[in-house]
Each structure stands twice: as structure tokens, then as C-alpha cells.
Structure 1
Amino acid sequence: MEAKAIARNIRISPQKARLVADCVRGKPVDEALNTLSSLPKKGARIIKKVLESALANADQNPNIDVDSLYIKRIYVDKGPILKRWKPRAMGRAYGIRHRLSHITIVLDEA
């Protein structure tokens, strides 16, 4: 049995979030939570919330043993880009692209 959680339109670039996702891929849930708690990155805080949501989803299913869960799949997809403009010298404008991410975590029993 699998449990899944998806967070959409998260305000972090996919490249930065994938660095954190690679650290916990394939690990047991309790070990992944400890790793995410100790990482000093913004993406660790966000991915930890999604992991806790997937764990809560798994807890709702009586057929799943929560103690034996591991991260089967974790991936970060590109979301929409917020385009903003910043004024520069001599009447020019400089584009700013705020990248968003979709984070998906799938848990499975070992």
C-alpha cells in the first residue's frame, strides 16, 4: 500500500528543492525526518512538511504499518513562473523570474 502527498506552487526553485530531495530519497521515514530537521536549507523545511502530510495520509489507512514506511519516490517538478520587473538605470527594466515548484512524495511499506 502506498501513501502520497503533493504540494503545488511552492515558492522555491526546483533546482534548490531537488538538492534536499536527493538527500532523503529511499530512506525510512523516521531517518528522513531527522535528516530534514538538521539541514539548514529552506527546502528542508518545506519537504519536511510534505513528508509529514504523506505520513498523516498513511496513518488514515488501517492496512498500512506506519513504522515500516520508507520514501519510495520523491520528485520536484517545475511549476509556473511569476514574472516581475525591476527598474534599472536610464529607463530600462530588468526581468525577475520567481520560480515555483510542485513537490510529490510517495511512501511505501518496506
Structure 2
Amino acid sequence: MRKKKKIEVYALGRHISLSADKARRVIDQIRGCSYEETLMILELMPYRACYPIFKLVYSAAANASYNMGSNEANLVISKAEVNEGTTVKKFKPRARGRSYPIKRPTCHITIGVKDISLHDEYDEYEQIYSLKKPRWKNKYTTMVYHDMYSIGGVWDKK
């Protein structure tokens, strides 16, 4: 019986005190990037969500190097997703004996890392980088810009 070699390693952060929408804003930027590029992006972004995501990416890389013996230069972020967690609900006292509810959202973040040196096919490597492309852009659309100073513009006609 042949055992299939595991090529993807995960790191899971649960009950992170952060809104899922604010975490998705950062996660969408790093999905499909290489490991070194991801660390640079997360260090330079000005959001509070970057630090827990940075720790998870670092943990996923450590899991990959320990479990599979892979090099950090060959790692690519293949899966990055954010799910909503439980909401912590508290009450704050207000004037005239009233109370005001405080809701602190939490989220669960999953980071999956693949080693591209273990892949036999080039297609899977291309599929990881296709996650980064915007959906509205395909190979048939071309952007053409016209301005009044270009050759053959509006002012050249007589």
C-alpha cells in the first residue's frame, strides 16, 4: 500500500480577537504569494490584523520545515481563509441605571503552505499563482488609454 506524500501544511489560529472582515482585507493580499514576499507584505502593511497573521504564516513555515523538511525559499501560501468565530458579549453600565451591550468579534484564521519543490507537475504551481489574479481580468481584455497629447489624437484631425 503506497502512502501519498503530504505536500501541504496548515497553521490554524482560533479565537483571535479581531473582526473577520478586517482580517480578510489582509489575507486577500497574501494569498498565492511566496513565503518571503508574504513576510515583507505583512511587515509593511499598517493594519492591526497583520501581526497575528504574521505569526500564523511563520508557524506554518516552521511546521513545513519540521514535518516535511522543506526549505523556506520553496514555500508558497496556497490556502488562506478567515472564518467568523464566537462573539464575546459584555454589558457596560450607563447613565440612569441603563446598560450598553459591547460585542467583541473573534475569527479563526487558517494558513496553508505548499512546497513547490515537491510538485511533479508545473500545472499545480501555476494554479497557486492564478489565485492572485483578479477575476474580472482575463486574457481577452486590453486597456487602451487615449489622451489629447497622443499621436493621432483628437487635435491632429483636420
TM-score of the aligned structures, taking structure 2 as reference length: 0.66
Partner residue, 2:42: 36
TM-score of the aligned structures, taking structure 1 as reference length: 0.93
Partner residue, 1:48: 54
* Pair 1:62–1:109, CA change in 2 (3 A): closer
**Structure with bigger RCO (C-alpha 8 Å, 6+ apart):** 1
Partner residue, 1:87: 93
**Which has a greater percent of strand?**
1
Partner residue, 1:59: 65
Partner residue, 2:139: none
The number of aligned residues is 110
Between 80-89 and 22-31, report the one with greater CA deviation: 80-89
Q: 1:68 aligns with which of 71, 74, 78?
A: 74
Asked if 1:78 is matched to 2:84, the reply is: yes
Instruction: State the alpha-carbon separation in 1 of the partners of residues 69 and 8 from structure 2.
Output: 10
CA deviation after TM superposition for structure 1 residue 15, in Å: 1.1
Tell me which stretches of 4 or more aligned residues in structure 1 moved more than 6 Å. none
Q: Which has the larger radius of gyration?
A: 2
Give secondary structure in 1 for the equivalent of 2:23. Answer: helix
Q: Once superposed, what is the RMSD of the aligned Cα atoms?
A: 1.3
Asked if 1:22 is matched to 2:28, the reply is: yes
Instruction: State the alpha-carbon separation in 2 of the partners of residues 69 and 24 from structure 1.
Output: 13
Between 83-92 and 70-79, report the one with greater CA deviation: 83-92
Q: Can you give the 5+ residue segments of structure 2 that lack an aligned partner in the other structure?
A: 1-6, 117-158
Instruction: State the alpha-carbon separation in 1 of the partners of residues 115 and 62 from structure 2.
Output: 14
Q: Can you give the 5+ residue segments of structure 1 that lack an aligned partner in the other structure?
A: none
